[in-house]
Amino acid sequence: MAAVANPIVGSQVWVVDSDVAWIDGEVLEVKGDEIKVLCTSGKLVVVKVSNVYLKDTEAPACGVDDMTKLAYLHEPGVLDNLRSRYDINEIYTYTGSILIAVNPFIRLPHLYDSNMMAQYKGAGFGELSPHPFAVADAAYRLMINEGVSQSILVSGESGAGKTESTKLLMQYLAYMGGRATVGEGRTVEQKVLESNPVLEAFGNAKTVRNNNSSRFGKFVEIQFDQKGRISGAAIRTYLLERSRVCQLSDLERNYHCFYMLCAAPPEDVQKFKLGNPRTFHYLNQSNCFELEGLDESKEYHDTRRAMDVVGISSEEQEAIFRVVAAILHLGNIEFTKGMEMDSSMPKDEKSRFHLQTAAELFMCDAKALEDSLCERIIVTRDETITKCLDPEAAALSRDALAKTVYTRLFDWLVDKINNSIGQDPESKSLIGVLDIYGFESFKTNSFEQFCINLTNEKLQQHFNQHVFKMEQEEYKKEEIDWSYIEFVDNQDILDLIEKKPGGIIALLDEACMFPRSTHETFSQKLYQTFKNHSRFSKPKLARSDFTICHYAGDVTYQTELFLDKNKDYVVAEHQHLLYASKCPFVSGLFLPSPEVSSKQSKFSSIGTRFKQQLISLLETLSATEPHYIRCVKPNNLLKPGIFENKNVLQQLRCGGVMEAIRISCAGYPTRKAFVEFVDRFGLLAPKALDGRSDEVTACKRILEEVELKGYQIGKTKVFLRAGQMAELDTRRSELLGKSASVIQRKVRSYLACRSFVLLRLSARQIQAACRGHLARHAYEGLRQEASSLIIQQYIRMYIARKTYTELFSSAVSIQTGMRGMAARCNLHFRKQARAAIVIQSHCRKYLAQHHFRILKKAVITTQSLWRGKVARQELKKLKMAARETGALQAAKNKLEKQVEDLTLRLQLEKRMRVDMEVLKSQETQRLQSALQEMQLQFKETKELLQREREAAKREAERVPVIQEVPVVDNALVENLTSENEKLKTLVTLLEKRIDETEKKYEEASKISEERLKQALDAETKITQLKTAMQRLEEKFSDIESENQVLRQQTLVNSSLKTMSRNRSLSENLENGHHSTEEQKAVETVTPVKKFGTESDSKRRSYIERQHENVDTLVNCVIKSTSFHHGKPVAAFTIYKCLLHWKSFEAERTSVFDRLIQMIGSAIENQEDNDLMAYWLLNTSALLFLLQQSLKSGGAIDATPARKPPNPTSLFGRMTMGFRSSPSSSNLTGLSLDFVRKVEAKYPALLFKQQLTAYVEKIYGILRDNLKKELASLLSLCIQAPRTSKGVLKSGRSFAKDSPMGHWLSIIESLNTLLCTLKENFVPPVLIQKIFTQAFSYINVQLFNSLLLRRDCCTFSNGEYVKAGLAELEMWCVQAKEEYAGSSWDELKHIRQAVGFLVIHQKYRISYDEIINDLCPVMSVQQLYRICALYWDDNYNTRSVSPDVLSSMRVLMTEDSNNAQSDSFLLDDNSSIPFSVDDLSTSLQEKDFSEMKPSDELLENPAFQFLNE
């Protein structure tokens, strides 16, 4: 990092500040090596030139997403860039391939949902905004493409967000490499993700800096198979902080599991004899017991659930928490002096209670536990000595046991999780995620900080090597010389700590092996050994502390507890006690090791073991390709919106970011693309921009012009040494200053010249106005004189004209009066003559009418007299005839005959009613007995009908024949008179009886109709039962199905024959007394079913013909792809054939399966849009015809109640046949209509559903084909082609195609598909939906790219996209609303976003204007991101004002606290946006009545019905 060379007045620089680390200001004065700077805070400082750094004034206000793009790569530039991005909630930033993540301390759910993962899937590294998903995707792609294992190292101090970043990485890797769940188990990735809550519960705790700090290091190895799927995983842990179990600092907490267990359900708390955490010694050493917003009870249940997922059984969970509770009870055991010297014993009953409880939980003997804590057994060669421990030593023994048990428990959990997850021995590649603690430097630094910082030193060395390697690869790729670049290593610090012999760890192990060693003797040994080491020093006024100069700064360590914490031996008494436990789980934790003697304790060094783990970890990392994520905590308050510069800068140094920058500055820290370099420094050498040279030549000529040395020209970039960028900017500032002076001089000259020209123009205008005024005055006098003459002329003319007019009017009036008087006299004479003629005509008319009336009256009188005479004669004859008694006797006989006839009818109806009751009972029994007894019931019904017919015949034969009795003409008149009276009385009685009989007959008719309805209902239920049972038999063979169809047709024919036979039989009854209505009534009483039999050969031939016809139809439909007046011939032909074959009414048929198979095979080539469009039309048209024709078999027509529904069973059809008219005209008349309603059976309804699915599938194929074609073009349309400002386009490297070429390609794709759809006559509603969803896809892709890529949120890019959208709008206009529909409205998001980008004065726009007028459809997150990412590459215009940004930030904070906060990215809707009703409405206009089938089918005799 080089300082500014030769700063000039007006330069913007960074200076050191005690409060904010670095502050910017303006150079006011330069005096030799000192400069005077006015800071932005208002403070005036004088600093040396070597202590300031130049500020890039052209850097975007919202920062850059990759800090290697910074013009000045130094501490203040990096810090300012991170702060600028943090202010706009851009928490991720790249430094080359390193991702820096600043903890926002606020929920940002929109950054981590599935939509965001889909955006980063397959995207190039650096193409989208920085994100952990991008790092994970880059690692995954490298592993898949190159077969090299990868590792992702996540580091940072406590509270920086390491654990959350690790979870995000795991989540994305599970998203990319997840496999489907097998059976009821969980997948590997699910178990890995669910292992986090378990490890956090037992390995995380609250520290001063973080509420959920990981107190161990974790390396997760995720194994992948050859297909890139997760096949196994392993979790390795490092250096669990054992001392936290027994020792706590204030404001910190112990491990979470202890507090969870205390908040467990009451039954668990009672079982383990727990209580409030404040009552336990291991928890009450700190005043912090609860965390804000954390429900310990809920966390307990979540941990138990996570244990279930990772494979820990309920018995093992019970044992785990039993051990945790035992540790808490161990901590409450206090000791006091015993009876013997230097002995100890439990202090009181409370301590003995906890001792007894701990023994019960460990399932061991309480006395043995007490002895193991208060005594030590020393084994010598000759004897075994029991040594008592004083209370202090006993307490240390207690704590050692607690730490050992907890460590063994944690190790068991890790092993159990690994065993549950499982590892893939055949895996060739893996991705490791390292979640490791960052560099730590506190006021008090003990052995844990020493090990943590050793880990960071080792990782920093690995990191430096990787950064240096990346620099070398960059230089090699650009083909520049890099051999002289020096690599600075930290191997000397590592040798100081871990070298054998003589390192700090070796000396610590040596001190731990000597019983009399103390921390003071250990410190003195360190002072003597490393007194001349440059990295080691002794602090002043310290007796046992030492300081190491780490890469991140000096750290002073206190050695008081170094020896105790380094010892890792297990007390033999503790080992024997817990190994003998009756609990298998506890016993399994303390299995004897072959390396440890059963009778003595063996020393083991934690430092040495940890060093070996580090070596193993580094070997694993060295075998992988590393990726780095550095987590940064912006403030120690753990609150959002606060960015502490000093704190962040220290973390950047500890995280190695500054070290990476230092390595980069050792080479070429400034790297500019040729176009950017020419744009920025082209004005230093105007001759280089002559338009005849390319970019590389222009850059070389510029650098030669300024006489710069030490730079290098790569293949795509200019590489500048440290300080050279500042020198170029200084020269550029000087040139711009001189240019500004020239411009000011020219502007002043121009203003003065313009002022003189305006003054002269004003004088001329005043003179012209004066001359004009005098001329107008003279002209006004001349005009008045001329006006006077004209007025006099017109007045004289008016007087003369008036005199003439009055004379003319008088003459005309006199003439008019004379002529009117003559005319009136003539008119009076004519009226008198006309009146006389009228009077004469009326008089003649009256005389003629009077004569006619007299003559008419005489004629009528004559006719009346003659007719009266004739009538009297006829009356006389009638009276004579009335006296005859024979007529009365005939009337009597007739009435008696009618009475008997009615009586017979009544009896017949009663018998019919009885028969109907019998039939009803039989039908009910048949419904209960199912189909097995159908044949027997049919025979019984047939016999019953035969008996009824014979009974009807017998009744007809029994009708008496009434003989006529002749009347004796010579009877006495008196007898005849009396007999006539009797007959009249009898007739009256008979008439009354007839009326009563008719009433009874009507009642009986009503009852019989009701019984008939009940019988029909029973028959309908039988039909429904049959239909349900037949659906269960769908898997029967096609031969049985065709036999059933043949049987049904034969039975229909037999029923028609039976109808005609019954009709002829009824007509031949004796005497013919039964009327047609009576015949119908008899026939309707009980239906008859006759079964026809066909031979097997005929049946097989019929089936074969049916299959041949279906094959012919399928072959013709596949070959012929013709249309008839824009309507599909194939769909019409299929529908006609199905209608003729009565396939819709068949219970079983294979025709529909064949058709579905044909459609499926026809659309196998999904890339052929022409073929897809053809079948989309056919399937939609056929679906429309089915929609118009089919109706469910259970539907009942809304006809009068006397008309029963159409039955579906064979028995019901025969019943309807007997009930209907004998003629079969109704059967043949149905086929005359093209589209008619038919009762659909299950196969037909299933075919309709399958056809609907194919319509949706083909529609989706066409839509997705268009999206695939547009996807490759949209990635090129979101960003305008870049051109240099200085170099003319005529240069050979700038000769590019038209900028709108990609948009025109999109238009061409849309036109191609539209023409294809039109040529295949696809319904307009489907075309509208396809293009509407395509435009919605365009809107989603362009808008999401705009939000994720900062280089797209520019003014020039907005103009470019706006021009492309204008092309799309023109296409919508040309395509018309019939096909485009509402496609243009789908682009509302990108239209409003682009419209906002091209506004010049954004800083004047208020927030209300943005959300109400400019961008009403965009959310706050979307608006904020666009406003924050915006930068103007053409006119350097500013974005919105800071007040608007702060308002948006407040609203975003409120939304983030809402659980329903959505992602700022748009979702692509891939649903089916239409229904069958919409399709039917669109096709309703098509007339299918005049369709012409294929000629090939018309020539086939089996398809002659198509001609009808």
User: Angle at the Cα of 1269 (from 1264 to 1273), degrees rounded to 5?
Assistant: 135
The residue among 197, 237, 203, 200 whose CA lies nearest residue 217 is: 237
Task: Specify whether the CB–CB gap between 347 and 398 falls below 8 A.
Answer: no
- According to DSSP, the residues that pair with 384 across neighbouring strands are 379
Would the annotation count 163 as a binding residue? yes
Phi-psi region at 625: left, alpha or beta (left = phi > 0; alpha = psi -120 to 50): beta
Centroid of chain to Cα 938: 60
Beta bridge partners of 378: 385
226 to 143, 150, 180, 1094, 1311: CA distances (angstroms):
10, 15, 16, 64, 42
Contacts of 1507 (CB under 8 A, 6+ apart): 1498
Max intra-chain CA distance, the chain: 183
Which of 623, 672, 642 has the alpha carbon at shortest distance from 431?
A: 623
Q: Is residue 1098 part of an annotated ligand binding site?
A: no
As a whole number of angstroms, the distance between CA 1089 and CA 461 comes to: 98
**Cα separation of 1460 and 1454, whole Å?**
11
Q: Determine if residue 331 is labeled as part of a ligand binding site.
A: no
Helix pair 1388-1397, 1324-1348: axis angle to 10 deg: 40
In the block, residue with structure tokens 């009953």: 349
Question: Sign of torsion, CA 139 144 145 148?
Answer: positive
Q: HSE on the CB side for 697, CA within 13 Å?
A: 12
Sign of CA pseudo-dihedral 85, 87, 88, 92: positive
Tell me, rounded to whole angstroms, the distance of Cα 965 from its chain centroid.
101
> Is 161 a known ligand-binding residue?
yes
Task: Give the integer Cα–Cα distance in Å for 1449 and 640.
Answer: 11
Orientation of helix 1388-1397 relative to helix 1420-1429, angle to 10°: 40
The Cα–Cα gap between 3 and 649 comes to 18
| Contact yes or no for 1054/1091 (Cβ under 8 A) | yes
Q: State the DSSP string of 313-361.
A: -HHHHHHHHHHHHHHHHHHT--EEE-SSTT-EEE-SHHHHHHHHHHHHH
Per-residue tokens: 701: 């000529």
546: helix, coil or strand?
A: strand
Would you state the structure tokens that stand for residue 593, as one six-digit string?
A: 């090791």
> Does 1381 count as an annotated binding residue?
no
Distance CA 1313, CA 1173 (A): 9
Contact by Cβ (8 Å): 1204, 1013: yes
Rounded CA-CA distance 456/459 in Å is 5
Annotated catalytic sites, by residue? 158-159, 163, 210, 213-214, 438, 440
Question: Edge-to-edge, what's the strand order for the sheet holding 217-224?
Answer: 92-95, 98-102, 625-632, 150-155, 429-435, 217-224, 230-238
Amino acid at position 769, single letter: A
Buried/exposed code over 519-547 (b: 16+ C-beta within 10 A; e: otherwise): beebbebbeebbeeeebbbbeeeeebbbb
Spatial distance between the Cα atoms of 1202 and 278, rounded to a whole number of angstroms: 87
CB 135 within 8 A of CB 94: no
Residues present in the chain in total? 1508
Q: Distance between CA atoms of 482 and 472, rounded to whole angstroms?
A: 7
Copy the structure tokens of residue 122. 């397959």
714 annotated to bind ligand:
no
Give the Cα separation of 101 and 94 in Å (integer).
Answer: 9
Query: Does residue 157 have a known ligand-binding role?
Result: yes
- The reply, when asked if residue 338 is annotated as ligand binding, is no
> Does the N-terminal peptide bond of residue 501 adopt cis geometry, omega within 30 degrees of 0?
yes
Binding residues for ATP: 156-163
